Structure 1
């Protein structure tokens, strides 16, 4: 892996974080030179002018003078800010945070010592993870989690896995605030959630296409002339993907109805905004992951330090709120299609896709499971940007709560996966029953989505009598999370 502070993306972060083990890490020489120059300038500026966090206290203590040569100032700041509480962060999240923070420091605008950067790089390369707790950030810098990481590097914090030959790194007055002045942990959780949504939104097309086959959907809703008439990018991509999965490059046969229920008919119009919102989120995260956001910013070219508000993550919070709201709409359509799949008037099959004596319940419970997950998703989709906070004796009088937005987005991704899994179990059962009855589907001959159907049928229990469906849904969850399942 090559890092230079300029070209790391959220998708790369997610891939690295979900691949445990040592990393063949290479740091760009020009980036290391930037780090060295910024560190020298930061130290020099501290002898010439007041520099927040270096020669002063922080927050409302900004007017309190600190001695720049006092090495204890940096450690005191880290100790006081490392009060993280709550659950410990998962390994993949800590791994992602370390990679992001290292990349940001390589942008060369923080003024941290090269020794601290090298120590962090050693931890990344060895896949050595400090113990980090969840609570302690509100979208204006991940102060508590990053202080825990810095203290581990300094020899005072705890490690899950200690780096080989680890030696504590001295932390001077200029290192402490410079290291914690970042939202790397929030960005890490957002990147992981975005990576999950990349996969799940792609899978949603395959699941919807299988429901289309089971319901004898109408192809007109996906026709190219329709979407060229209102060409939103995500909507166009969704419709094109559905045409491919359903073999609609040629003119397919008409469906059973002149107009389908919204779950099928409005899928591109509802899924499209989620696609576009996720694209926007990735663009925002990519900027933030490569940003020099430390306050103050040590500007080598200008021979100065600038005090600013890059720690505020309104872009991230807004993008995350937007994604969650859009995914909620797509999840509602999945639950609606599940309702269609258990309705005899829509499928021509027995109610609830039952296959046993009269009164058999079939997949009835799937609707309850789906709406339970949808309710959890709905709660997590509520916007965090409507709240704020006033802290530090009134000086810091606004917060984005992007940290909470990232957590909520991870919850939305998990809940949406389960909603889709319930629909997938029902769609596969409906197609099995239709095949057994010898009924054709709306597709004219083999279509690409049948590859996804074949893989699902290989792992989903073929029995159609009344029985527990817990294992079926868990298997379907694994399919929806598998990035290769929908790549047909």
Structure 2
């Protein structure tokens, strides 16, 4: 495979879409390793106490230690719950490799091509779900490090990670960031699909296009709907909020997505190392992902809002006064038609509302009080990933109903929501 077919990791240009592509099997290639090499040379020449290299970690930061890196990895590799999927594990390794290429970790650059090989061989470390709170994916990366050392079995290459490189390797929220990147990439597809589905519903009920006029709405969502919709003779002087408020509410979801993507993209292309090794060691807290959690909280709340409007439009599609068809878009008088779709959609919507609960109102105090705050971006990223399914289901219910309203009733047959979910990408 040529270099042009690979995602080139250089520590500065990785995108959420590329993280998704790597997770799906696209191979990687290394860009320049110069920044990592400079940092390593500085690290090997440092004298005096350096956190995690010559000291313990957490509350043991003032304790001098020597060659305890493997003990650190063993103690931190403990996690719980089911194994994460191979896509997430691969995405995590890609994010961590990209961060290391940015420089600043002080880690031996000889590891970098080995990590690239592991990604391209689809080597999967056995990482379990629970073990982080937004201040570093220590368990996931410690498990990966022990795989490289040969202490944990995997289908990847080996590398003799030095004791001094243990903390530099695991001092990252790479899994959290990978989860966020994967969710952001998929949610963009669904937010775009929502506009196409809404256009179908708009036509089906002959909703007024006045709320979309350029004089009323300057949003990109309104502009896209104006392009998608034919000329409509409106059936009503004014429609419910599912139509009138959609452009601004759905635009807010795009804005939230964009802000989250900016935050995550910056983090996956940054040296969020503690300590950061430049020409000296800088001890810091840049690995803390509280700001990212805030953007992910906002994104989930915005999704719940726009999904609720989809459910509201679905209700109008069940009404003869809006569609000119039988109740529930049934084929015959008194039949149930698509009534069950409202139940399905509201089940999924209830899940979305639950997932919109913010994580940033909580905190934790750990390690004998030394680590006295947590952002829980780990949980925020997982919850963003979990929103994909219910949001897609809500849209699929609206899509099925809009098509039935536009095309007329069909003979009685089982309702295939899963097929509608698969068609969302081409719902225009």
TM-score range, shorter-chain basis? over 0.9
Please show how residues 45-64 of structure 1 align to structure 2 within 5 Å.
Answer: 45=46, 48-64=47-63
Query: Any idea what SS the aligned residue of 2:277 has?
Result: strand
Name which of 199, 206, 213 aligns with 2:196. Answer: 206
1:312 corresponding residue in structure 2: 288
Contact 1:362 1:464 survives alignment (8 Å): no
1:82 corresponding residue in structure 2: 77
Name which of 170, 173, 180 aligns with 2:170. Answer: 180
1:332 corresponding residue in structure 2: 308
The 2-side partners of 1:188 and 1:28 are apart by 20
The superposition leaves residues 54-81 of structure 1 with CA deviations (integer Å, 9 ceiling, x where unpaired) of: 00000011111112xx2xx111111110
Contact 2:177 2:268 survives alignment (8 Å): yes
Query: Any idea what SS the aligned residue of 1:156 has?
Result: coil
Query: Any idea what SS the aligned residue of 2:281 has?
Result: strand
The 2-side partners of 1:203 and 1:253 are apart by 21
Please show how residues 23-38 of structure 1 align to structure 2 within 5 Å.
Answer: 23=27, 25-29=28-32, 32-38=33-39
1:343 corresponding residue in structure 2: 319
1:126 CA drift (Å): 2.0
1:15 CA drift (Å): 2.1
2:273 corresponding residue in structure 1: 294
2:20 corresponding residue in structure 1: 14
1:141 CA drift (Å): 0.3
The superposition leaves residues 414-450 of structure 1 with CA deviations (integer Å, 9 ceiling, x where unpaired) of: 11000000111111111111xxxxxxxxxxxxxxxxx
Contact 1:370 1:419 survives alignment (8 Å): yes
Mark the runs of 5 or more structure 2 residues left unpaired by the alignment.
1-6
1:149 CA drift (Å): 1.0
Mark the runs of 5 or more structure 1 residues left unpaired by the alignment.
229-235, 434-461
1:112 corresponding residue in structure 2: 107
Name which of 417, 422, 438 aligns with 2:392. Answer: 417
1:463 corresponding residue in structure 2: 410
| Residues 1:121 and 2:97 aligned together | no
Query: Any idea what SS the aligned residue of 1:54 has?
Result: coil
Please show how residues 241-252 of structure 1 align to structure 2 within 5 Å.
Answer: 241-247=224-230, 252=231
**Structure 2-normalised TM-score?**
0.96
1:102 corresponding residue in structure 2: 97
The 2-side partners of 1:478 and 1:15 are apart by 19
Contact 2:148 2:161 survives alignment (8 Å): no
Contact 1:35 1:107 survives alignment (8 Å): yes
| Residues 1:474 and 2:418 aligned together | yes
The superposition leaves residues 87-137 of structure 1 with CA deviations (integer Å, 9 ceiling, x where unpaired) of: 111111111111110000001100111222222121122222211111100
1:408 corresponding residue in structure 2: 383
The 2-side partners of 1:151 and 1:40 are apart by 24
Count of aligned pairs: 422
The 2-side partners of 1:121 and 1:219 are apart by 52
1:36 CA drift (Å): 2.0
The 2-side partners of 1:352 and 1:345 are apart by 11
The Cα RMSD (Å) is 1.3
The superposition leaves residues 380-426 of structure 1 with CA deviations (integer Å, 9 ceiling, x where unpaired) of: 11100011111111110100000000111111121100000011111
The superposition leaves residues 449-486 of structure 1 with CA deviations (integer Å, 9 ceiling, x where unpaired) of: xxxxxxxxxxxxx8342x432xx200111122x3xx15
Query: Any idea what SS the aligned residue of 1:310 has?
Result: coil
1:398 corresponding residue in structure 2: 373
The 1-side partners of 2:84 and 2:232 are apart by 52
Instruction: List 4+ stretches of structure 1 deviating above 3 A.
Output: none
| Residues 1:387 and 2:387 aligned together | no
1:363 CA drift (Å): 0.4
The 1-side partners of 2:151 and 2:314 are apart by 53
Contact 1:284 1:319 survives alignment (8 Å): yes
1:281 corresponding residue in structure 2: 260
Please show how residues 114-193 of structure 1 align to structure 2 within 5 Å.
Answer: 114-159=109-154, 162-163=155-156, 166=157, 168-193=158-183
**Structure 1-normalised TM-score?**
0.84
